[in-house]
Structure 1
Amino acid sequence: MKRMSSLLAAVILLPSCSAGPASPPRSASALGVPDGWSVTAASGVEDLTAWWRRFDDPVLTGLVEQAAASNLDIAQAVARLRQAREALVVSGASLLPSVNGSAGFSRTEPVRGGGSTITLPDGSVTTIDGGGRSNFSLGLDASYQVDLFGGLRSAVAASRAQYEGAGFDYAAVILSVESEVARNYVLARALQAQIANARANLAIQDDNLEIAGFRVQAGLVSSVDAEQARASRAQTAATLPALEQQYNAAVSRLGVLTGQAPGAVKPVLEQPTPIPDGPDDVAMGIPADVLRQRPDVRSAESALLAASAQIGVARAQLLPSLSIGGNLASNASNAGSILDTITGGLFASIGQALFSGGRLQAQYRASRAAADGAFAAYRSAVLSALEDVENAFVALRAAREREGQFATALDAASASALLARDQYRSGLTDFTTLNAQEAALVSARNGLVQAQADKASALIALYAALGGGWDSSAAPVAPAPSR
């Protein structure tokens, strides 16, 4: 027992320190984040948790919220989050003692000749069984790994950071799915508008073809006008199948994103509606806000914390380790007396790696290199997030300007095409002029539709770049699995 006390005292006198490195820098200035944006934007901070509601489109709102509840990519992210949570529980168990119990029973019987014979008073002879022996046993073993140099605590810290990272990855998947649903919805509405434009233009060209045919029959123009009208109509008709194919693809994608069959949402979108138009201004806050609003940035930060904690795990492998254990045991020939005699023992051991061929040192250096790489990835995620915000904002501003210009162009092209059509009816202009004005009208219509779609898509991208679509005040928690 004196030897045990001396061993424990020597262990206590060992220098105790945490093997983990200092926490990585989290301040905006340390990461090279500027104080303001390089573009002029609205000041203030907005709650963008349900940004899709700002488009005031019930169909869009229903699709996004259905995708958040039923999308299969999100379901996979939830499963990964649950796995990370259980891995954290497993890692945390290393800080606690391990206790194992055992129980046993055995009986031995003689094979032959194990009995004895006696003569009874009536003169008969009988054999008494030599009898087998029964043995009952109970055992209890306990062991505990003392975390002298913080290796186990570092492993738990790494698991905790990985769990938090899985939560942010889950949020990033939600944000990505919500954005993709909104983009495909905008695309579907834009294609509906382009299909409507093509059909309206086809109706006009049917009229032009009829007018050209009358003028040819009347001998007022040559058949060239009729052939030009027929060619223009055929070219317009040829665009319809491609537009309808693209529309079907967008709608099918919406079905899959909402966890349904590709054609499930076709009835929902059957009635055409205008492309959703969001608010005029979006408050972008300051660049530092991105550090806490973007789940991908916070996931990169969690990966950095996990990599930093792994340095502590690797460093602890280079230092001594202490294990403490004990056992209790009892044996008896019958169950009633099994607790009458109990024996026990207590032991402790210190281990130190003396030679590993440089493996442990290499693992330590590799962990430091991994942490350096994780820090670079973290900075890259921050800068890419800032880039996403500014690019989306500039794209939104450019789309708004183009929308205004195309609105003016459409007004002018409509008037010009109407005038050219009247002049052609009256014989004051040729079909080539009419055809050119009709083409300008179609271009202006489609250009306005595309600008409106680009504006909505840029606004969606800006909301996503700012980290909208999830509650940034806390890491997501995996829902309890259904039973």
Structure 2
Amino acid sequence: MSPFMRPYRIAVLLGALGLSGCMRVGPDFQPQHEAWSEHWSSASITQVTQQDTQPDVRQWWLIFGDQNLERLIAEADANNGDLKIAGLRVLEARAQLGIALAGRYPQVQQVNADALASARKRSDGFNPRSGAFVQYGVGFSIGWELDFWGRFSRAIESADAAFFAAQANRDDALVLLHAQVADTYFTLRVAQARLRIARENAQLQKRSYDIAHKLFKAGESDELDFQQAKTQYLGTLSSIPDLESQIVLAGHALSVLIGRPPGPLPELDVQAGKEGVVPLVDHAVLQDVPADLLLRRPDVRAAEYQMASQSALIGVAKADLYPSVSLLGSLTWTASSLSGSPSTLLFAAGPSVTWNVFDYGRIRNNVRVQDARLQELTVAYQNTVREAAREADDAATSLIAALQRDTVLNDAQSAARRSLTLANTIYREGYSDFQRVLDAQRALFAQEDAYVVNRSNAVGSVIALYKALGGGWDTAQPLVDAATRAQMRKRTDWGDLLDDTTPAAVAPGQTEGPSR
């Protein structure tokens, strides 16, 4: 090779390395926030929320001041199966990111070794001593596709966004888990309160039934009073098994949520004097405006990261439209056992250009496929934001209605209790028939039950509002618990990936990501 060609080839090589990764085809991701979501507000949400620092929206359940609920949520964070799966998917996404990062380095790295034995043949067969020799050699090949068009950098960008999407999905699993635990816990408590009311009213009605039975037997009243008292008593009695079943089923659901097998929860057995207490929380505490909380909702963030990941895949597909430039090199050494045979060392290196010139139809349509998928995810993201806003507004509206009914129903049950007292009094004094007593008992049972059910609706609406605004994504638990980490390390070399070093999330489209 002419000496003046060497600087030229070196310059070409350096130029190729300089261009590698500098030209990235495909779109740069742009968030697709709709104008309304940036400044969204709701009169209903404003009415039932207040700005305060405590409790933090990440631990909103503290607003109920219930230590049993706090213990259940802590146990769910440590043992819930769905949450563990979400944490493992973060690790999976991190490993997928490591695969994408490998594109920065030579893609072909191959070492070959071979040996060949030979001997000359005589008329009576092979003679190992007659001209026998061994030829052997070692070779090393390397191939490095330069990232001219950003194929590998876009793939890294996509995997990076997918990694953050997996983290957001885990946060969303926390939001759903905490809401489910709280909702199921109060379902159990409400069923216990309703059971207490049913049993108390059944006792009242049993006394009336006994009285009506004695009077009928004595011939002092007709059979109608007796049968009506019996009907009402048995009707109330029949509601008790259903409420007991609700308590058991809610306990089973709670057991599974906190990672236990279905069974009783002794710590949630009703305590004397507290079996009828259903809290009334008339507001939610927020540390930010609803619009910002809405866009920070984990499932909304996950949808946006998925868009960013898919946007980068368009660039990966578009890179196939252009020629790929690779640097190839090989080093081979051969030798022989023949006396005086020289060993040889061969080195070869140079560029290689590959271009799928006649495959443009497939490549272009693949680009279109990736673009269509991005648009699908864009629409899905916008739908997710709208649905989140609807859920928050619906929860606030339901809470307002429940709060308005609470005072009315409380007065109604007080009036029903007073009515029963008066009905019993005038019946004993002979100024009224037995039907008025039965009607008063029926009204009391209905109003007391409606009051507790409405309290349940209010509690459920508070939980739904916090869930709709994405509250409750915080936990002290690591991505993977210690026992699972030990099991995985025993099977596979995970390096430091199992260490709990989860980075803070960044906005989709930024280049910052986890440590490489």
Counterpart contact for 1:107–1:132, Cα < 8 Å: no
> Which deviations, in whole Å up to 9, do the C-alpha atoms of 1:329-360 show, x marking residues without a partner?
222347xx9x9753211121112221226221
Match for 2:216: what amino acid? V
Query: Within 5 Å, which residues of 2 pair with 1:145-294?
Result: 145-263=145-263, 265-272=264-271, 273-277=275-279, 279-284=281-286, 285-294=288-297
> Which deviations, in whole Å up to 9, do the C-alpha atoms of 1:70-109 show, x marking residues without a partner?
1111122222222111111101111211353425352525
Give the 3 Å change call, closer, same or farther, for CA 453–332 of structure 1 in structure 2.
Answer: same
> In the aligned structure 2, how far is the partner of 1:418 from the partner of 1:454?
29
> In the aligned structure 1, how far is the partner of 2:138 from the partner of 2:247?
73
Q: Equivalent of 1:17, from 16, 23, 41?
A: 23
Q: CA deviation at 1:10?
A: 8.9
**SS at structure 2 position matched to 1:364:** helix
> In the aligned structure 2, how far is the partner of 1:258 from the partner of 1:91?
36
Q: CA deviation at 1:11?
A: 6.0
Which stretch shows the higher mean deviation, 11-20 or 357-366?
11-20
Match for 1:141: what amino acid? S
Q: Equivalent of 1:67, from 63, 73, 76?
A: 76
In structure 2, the partner of 1:432 is 435
Structure 2 stretches lacking a partner, 5+ long = 488-516
TM-score by length of 1: 0.88
In structure 2, the partner of 1:100 is 109
> In the aligned structure 2, how far is the partner of 1:274 from the partner of 1:96?
67
Counterpart contact for 1:184–1:250, Cα < 8 Å: yes
In structure 2, the partner of 1:37 is 42
Which stretch shows the higher mean deviation, 57-66 or 181-190?
57-66
> Which deviations, in whole Å up to 9, do the C-alpha atoms of 1:367-395 show, x marking residues without a partner?
22222221111111112111111111111
Q: Between the two proteins, what is the percent identity of the paired residues?
A: 29
In structure 2, the partner of 1:76 is 85
**SS at structure 1 position matched to 2:347:** strand
> In the aligned structure 2, how far is the partner of 1:13 from the partner of 1:168?
36
In structure 2, the partner of 1:343 is 346
Is 1:379 paired with 2:379? no
Counterpart contact for 2:117–2:134, Cα < 8 Å: yes
Match for 2:471: what amino acid? G
**SS at structure 2 position matched to 1:88:** helix
Is 1:482 paired with 2:489? no
> In the aligned structure 2, how far is the partner of 1:479 from the partner of 1:95?
32
Counterpart contact for 2:118–2:134, Cα < 8 Å: no
> In the aligned structure 2, how far is the partner of 1:199 from the partner of 1:75?
41
**SS at structure 1 position matched to 2:51:** coil
Q: CA deviation at 1:363?
A: 1.4
Counterpart contact for 2:100–2:159, Cα < 8 Å: yes
> In the aligned structure 2, how far is the partner of 1:358 from the partner of 1:112?
58
Q: CA RMSD in A?
A: 3.1
In structure 1, the partner of 2:371 is 368
Is 1:133 paired with 2:133? yes
Q: CA deviation at 1:478?
A: 6.1
In structure 1, the partner of 2:465 is 462
> In the aligned structure 2, how far is the partner of 1:456 from the partner of 1:391?
14
Counterpart contact for 1:185–1:250, Cα < 8 Å: yes
> In the aligned structure 2, how far is the partner of 1:45 from the partner of 1:349?
64
Which stretch shows the higher mean deviation, 99-108 or 426-435?
99-108
Counterpart contact for 2:191–2:247, Cα < 8 Å: yes
> In the aligned structure 2, how far is the partner of 1:479 from the partner of 1:309?
33
> In the aligned structure 2, how far is the partner of 1:471 from the partner of 1:186?
21
Counterpart contact for 1:326–1:345, Cα < 8 Å: yes
**SS at structure 1 position matched to 2:68:** helix
> Which deviations, in whole Å up to 9, do the C-alpha atoms of 1:186-214 show, x marking residues without a partner?
11111111111111111111100122123
Give the 3 Å change call, closer, same or farther, for CA 137–197 of structure 1 in structure 2.
Answer: same
> In the aligned structure 2, how far is the partner of 1:478 from the partner of 1:460?
27
Counterpart contact for 1:178–1:469, Cα < 8 Å: yes
> In the aligned structure 2, how far is the partner of 1:315 from the partner of 1:290?
36
Q: CA deviation at 1:464?
A: 1.0
Q: CA deviation at 1:268?
A: 2.1
> Which deviations, in whole Å up to 9, do the C-alpha atoms of 1:115-174 show, x marking residues without a partner?
99xxxxxxxxxx993374334432222111111111221111111111111111111112
Counterpart contact for 1:105–1:134, Cα < 8 Å: no
Tell me the matched-pair count. 466
> In the aligned structure 2, how far is the partner of 1:268 from the partner of 1:128?
86
Match for 2:425: what amino acid? D
> In the aligned structure 1, how far is the partner of 2:301 from the partner of 2:253?
29
In structure 2, the partner of 1:319 is 322
Match for 2:42: what amino acid? W
> In the aligned structure 1, how far is the partner of 2:221 from the partner of 2:291?
70
> In the aligned structure 2, how far is the partner of 1:369 from the partner of 1:275?
54
Match for 2:432: what amino acid? T
Which stretch shows the higher mean deviation, 136-145 or 55-64?
136-145
**SS at structure 2 position matched to 1:49:** helix
